Chains A and B, each alone.
Chain A
């Protein structure tokens, strides 16, 4: 858990050791770079007063989107200097960095679209139509192209794999979906009743494998270069980033190979004549951490 200032509006990873946090003080906006281990500040610089969201752009750059009809994306160095800007001509609803070369922005206006930004040339490289009602966007770079996942207002999750011509709605619903670093999973918020959780959806099966609880204040998720999942929580009075290691069983998406201690017969179990255990009831079930380490979420 990385404690942040209560004014934190957004957070994103810069590299495995650092987070960029967008702070909003009255009309002023600033970005603070903090250690992802201790939460200590290592740098802070002002950004445009309309800055609304941060975006990942590799360890050497940082993106921020400026609210307003012009739809400006600023590309900065980690020290805060603006290296270039890209004007999209429509309000930016969501900003999604894929890697140091690609970023995507969901823009609204009369014709909403997902705009691809070439960060190297600071130009718009293309655009596709988003699913109707899209409110969130995330990207995952895979080679020269990137896969996209969009979340809609009604909780639908749409996936557009790199090179695919269309969006495909997956069977699982959720909000603010993001890719895992490896691209082997999508994480999405699910609110059922009065509880909120993160659904872990395995790819390519597009089936949910787990739901683990998070605070109702959880707003956004992002993946860090070492596979860690960051969850930004903002309650109005406090803010923090909860970090979940990619080795956590909570993020695992593959079955674990189980071995019997029996050496004969290709590891068949020893028979349990007369002492078989009953199915566990709720009280006998072990705690979650008994599942041990697994690394498939990375």
Chain B
């Protein structure tokens, strides 16, 4: 070691640096969280403690829930698409496909170029959890900037703002206890949260007068894709309203946002956000879907169409009024009208609430910009009121808003795990076991509810939407969990797919535990694609065993069955069909040495419809006819009044369920179960 010019040894400098490191980190954190005016104020100590506590809670909840989802394989299609491209880019495929959404090149999805920038992380942390943590980190950054912005507003001016410390603490409560922030980050992985962290940084930079930073950050937002481009346009509108000085910049951003949206769609990106599908109904008066005969809609078409048919938008907004309320309530409503929020809020509310989907209108990742900017806007209004003669009103309103946010938090946070994680620990362990047993080069097709963790490869397909799985590797792995996870495919489709895989394509059953079925199609099979059914009126019983049954899956697949013995209970259960009202006949292919009961239930209404005795006998079909009334409707949790949302409508048709019960007096084997409509005029099977 040699001394430097000042006589200090390098080792001493290192020791000094390490010793000072905690202090430097703390200084950096303080600098990030608190403007100079706060750090200079006498409120700093208290605010610092509360801020650290609040953000620790925020960070712990976000990251812990991500880890919980990760451990439970509770990551679905949207996560899978990003996980696949992130993984592929990190491993050298710079123009990867999106097999999850079945799009030839991922850049076409939303032109989300930032993925290429974060992909190198995958070289060092090759776990899906990394992606979740990146999303959480962006959320924490967005909240930190929102908080700093609020403090900047409240601690601005030569004259101290009355009650500024109280207002700041109440604003912190609103920010940390907004349940929709956690709700948004719990839903797979999406680009909006990434965009908002940059967007609010841009907004804050403009607020501080650092226009160049603001512009650079706004340009960075464009890298997040076509949806983020609309946020840039919204920020432009905000600047037009907020500051005469920034008027030209605002116009520029507005034009830039629209241009980028249009540009991305014209070059073939935006495949997953076609204006015609999402907003076409506002012009045509009906949902056009993916009707190829209709022309592609541009932003211009949309604006003109809305101008010519304004009532359509009014009617749509009327349908979604409750969700507008639910989105805005935890942030205190009025914040969206502040000059630093209004333009962006208008764009976000319009594009979410006018979309042909309740998913976008409900509190969700699509509205994360509202939650961040809206809280800042609320603080802006409070500062305005506190400077007036009604200064106590600011405290009162803030207190009400903070209590309101805590109530929303109390009502909705307990729903977070059951809403987003529907995979049991045991099923997750089985899925993990399958995941570990699958080679990186293998193709995987998995249930929608599990696909997220299985998408770390070039070929991954979600059984939620894919009906023909192309063969892209020698070994094709199927992981199907009919009753686990958030599956958009029906249970019936999952059971029918299992049936086709083993009986038609000769798939080898690798494992079946805790409701997770892992099958492999290897080199002995020469099919180039696997056609999976949308559903079937005749499905195998072995994947639908009840608590008193076990699957017997040895020998030829045609002989596989659900076996019941000397245990009383259901041998087979949860064989579901979602059917319109009408006359049907349910039947089971069964062999019994002891009596059993064939039952049909309206599972939605939790009501038995009909029971029929299964007499002991050789293998044969036992049938029962019934009339399905389709009267029930699942309850969807919508909160406790007044902390309510407009919950998604449950499926229109009731779920019919066929079960086989045994008294446990002897063997009973159920091979297949079927449900078919009765021909008109017939009342007997």
Partners in one complex: yes
A262 at the binding interface (Cβ < 8 Å): yes
Is B113 engaged at the interface, CB distance under 8 Å to the other chain?
no
CB pair B610 A208 closer than 8 Å:
yes
Majority-rule SS of B interface residues: loop
Bitwise, A260-278 to B at CB < 8 A (1) or not (0) is: 1111110011111111111
CA distance A260 to B605 in the complex (A): 18
Whether A290 lies near B627 (C-beta < 8 A) is no
Distance in angstroms between the alpha carbons of A195 and B583 in the assembled complex: 25
Q: Does A171 contact B (CB under 8 A)?
A: yes
Neighbour of A264 across the interface among B281, B357, B635, CB < 8 A: B281
Q: Contacts A212-B607, A280-B604, A290-B632 given: A270-B627 contact, CB under 8 Å?
A: no
Nearest A residue to B636 via CB reads A277
Among residues of A, the one whose C-beta sits closest to the C-beta of B187 is A274
Judged by a CB distance under 8 angstroms, whether A209 is at the interface is yes
B602 nearest in chain A by CB position: A210
* Known contacts A211-B611, A274-B77; is-contact A255 B573 (Cβ 8 Å): no
Q: Tell me whether B106 is interfacial, beta carbon within 8 Å.
A: no
Cβ–Cβ < 8 Å partners of A253 in chain B:
627, 629
Contacts of B360 in A (CB 8 A): 273
- Interface residues on chain B, size class: 35 or more
Q: Say yes or no: is A252 at the interface (Cβ < 8 Å to chain B).
A: yes
Name the residue of chain A whose CB is nearest to the CB of B570.
A282
Please give me the residue from chain B that is nearest to A287 by CB atom. B606
Determine the chain B residues whose CB is within 8 A of the CB of A190 once the complex forms. 611
User: Measured between C-beta atoms, what is the minimum distance from B290 to chain A in Å?
Assistant: 11
Q: B603 interface residue, CB < 8 Å from A?
A: yes
From residue A31, how far is it (CB to closest CB) to chain B in Å?
36
Across chains A and B, the number of contacting residue pairs, with CB separation under 8 Å, is 181
A262 vs B646: C-alpha distance in the bound complex, in angstroms?
A: 12
List residues of chain A with CB within 8 A of the CB of B605: 249, 285-286, 288, 290-291
For window 544-579 of B, CB contacts with A under 8 Å fall at: 573-574, 576, 578
Residues of A within 8 A of B609 (CB): 208-211
Q: Is the CB of A274 within 8 A of B651?
A: no
Selecting from A8-16, A36-44, A73-81, A197-205, the interface stretch reads A197-205
Q: How many residues of A contact B (CB 8 A)?
A: 53
> Do the beta carbons of B625 and A258 come within 8 Å of each other?
no
Q: How far is the CA of A206 from the CA of B625 in the complex (A)?
A: 10
Give the complex CA separation of A215 and B652 in angstroms. Answer: 34
Is B633 interfacial (CB 8 A cutoff)? Answer: yes
Q: Which residues of A contact B610 (CB under 8 A)?
A: 172, 199, 208, 211
* Choice from A249, A277, A279 contacting B648 with Cβ under 8 Å: A277
Q: Check if A207 sits within 8 Å of B583, measured CB to CB.
A: yes
Q: Is the CB of A290 within 8 A of B597?
A: no
Is B488 interfacial (CB 8 A cutoff)?
A: yes
| Chain B residues, Cβ within 8 Å of A291 | 605, 607, 631-633
Q: Give per-residue flags for B312-344: 1 if the beta carbon is below 8 A from chain A beta carbons, else 0.
A: 100110110000000000000000000000000
Chain B residues proximal to chain A, CB less than 8 Å: 76-78, 187, 281, 285-287, 312, 315-316, 318-319, 356-360, 362, 422, 449, 483, 485-488, 490-491, 573-574, 576, 578, 581, 583, 597, 602-611, 613, 625-636, 646, 648-652, 655, 661, 663, 678, 683-685
The list of the 8 closest CB pairs from A to B, nearest first, reads A255-B581, A207-B627, A285-B606, A276-B488, A270-B358, A208-B610, A265-B286, A171-B684
Q: Could you write out 9 A-B pairs with CB less than 8 Å apart?
A: A193-B661, A210-B608, A211-B611, A260-B649, A272-B357, A274-B187, A277-B634, A278-B449, A291-B605
A272-B358, A277-B650, A294-B631 given; name 16 further pairs at CB < 8 Å. A170-B683, A206-B683, A208-B625, A211-B608, A252-B631, A253-B627, A269-B652, A271-B356, A272-B649, A273-B359, A274-B488, A275-B358, A278-B486, A279-B576, A286-B634, A290-B633
